[in-house]
Amino acid sequence: MKSLYDFENLPEKGKLSFVQKECTFLMYRMEGLVVALHLYYHQPGDFYVEVWHNIEMNEVEFIRTFKSQKSLNPYCDDIDIHDFLP
């Protein structure tokens, strides 16, 4: 598992590869009035990763990290914990 510092210092392709291979997917939500965006939330350990994906252009626009669960609180009702149960 990488630390937040290690993750932040990866190039964008390295970040995306790490997210796809090593992180727990939490949820996604749609955003944007002009441009359709999907925001994907992942947890690799003690921090969270938010990936902004432009649907029309089929490209990642932004990758944001945060440590506090407070940033997820508005969307917690959308996380299906059954996906994490054995």
List domains and CATH numbers for the chain: 4-68 (3.10.450)
d(CA 4, CA 25): 17
d(CA 36, CA 80): 23
Q: Which residues of 6-35 are buried (b: 16+ CB within 10 A; e: fewer)?
A: ebeeeeeeebeebbeeebeebbbeeeeeee
How does pLDDT run along the chain (86 residues), one tens digit per residue?
689 999 999 999 999 999 999 998 888 888 876 678 888 888 888 899 999 999 889 999 999 999 887 777 666 666 665 555 55
The predicted model scores a pTM of 0.79
> And the tokens for 6?
């290690």
